[in-house]
Amino acid sequence: MNRIFFAALAAAVLLMPAHSVMADDDTELSDAAKYRETVMEAVASSFGGFIAVYLGKVEPKAEDKHLIANTRALAISSTLIGDLVPPGSEGGNALPLIWTEMDTYQKYAQDAADSTAELARAAESGDRAAMGKAFKAVGTSCKTCHDKFREEHES
């Protein structure tokens, strides 16, 4: 009995997809919802990369290059945010309110694209004060949209 149970458990574990993304209710997310999470992770990663360099947590040899590359990546991935909520892609951390207040979501998505483009321009100019100002605007843009449209979570 035990042996059969453990064999079944082992088989179940082995057959699990390596990176299956589960929604809060344990149902599997649609590919469109997974894609949204993938792109938003890219946005968060490049913003995090910029922040680490800008705040001096790391000091790469060519600091300018890192500030520019991270903010370019951020600005590029942020242009996709408006496209990440097609009908039928509900689920994950995205609140249903997105689909009933789509105009507001699209406005926030545009704010994200605009503010990150400004941060990339500031990084390219090398002006630290301009980067600081644009950095704050990007943070506000993220937070405004998340407060309204993203389910609260730990991280």
Q: Are 111 and 82 in contact (CB under 8 A)?
A: no
Stretch that binds ligand ASC, among 57-65, 83-91, 117-125, 140-148 (CB under 6 A): 140-148
Which residues is 94 bridged to in the sheet?
91, 150
Q: Tell me the window of 14-22, 65-73, 123-131, 139-147 that interacts with ligand ASC (CB under 6 A).
A: 139-147
* 143 sits near ligand ASC (criterion: CB under 6 A): yes
Residue 141, CB half-sphere, CA atoms under 13 Å: how many? 26
Among 29, 47, 94, 120, binds ligand ASC (CB under 6 A): 47
Rounded to a whole number of angstroms, the minimum distance from the CB of residue 155 to ligand ASC is: 8
Q: Which of the stretches 44-52, 60-68, 78-86, 111-119 binds ligand ASC when contact is defined by CB under 6 A?
A: 44-52
Distances (CA, A) of 46 to 39, 51, 69, 77, 88: 11, 9, 9, 9, 28
Residues composing the chain: 155
Q: Are 63 and 53 in contact (CB under 8 A)?
A: yes
In this structure, the number of other CB atoms found within 10 A of the CB of residue 61 comes to 6
**Residue 8: CB minimum distance to ligand ASC, A:** 39
Q: Identify which of residues 120 and 142 has a Cβ nearer to ligand ASC in the complex.
A: 142
Nearer to ligand ASC, 132 or 139 (CB): 139
Where on the chain is the footprint of ligand ASC (CB under 6 A)?
Answer: 44, 47-48, 139, 142-143, 146
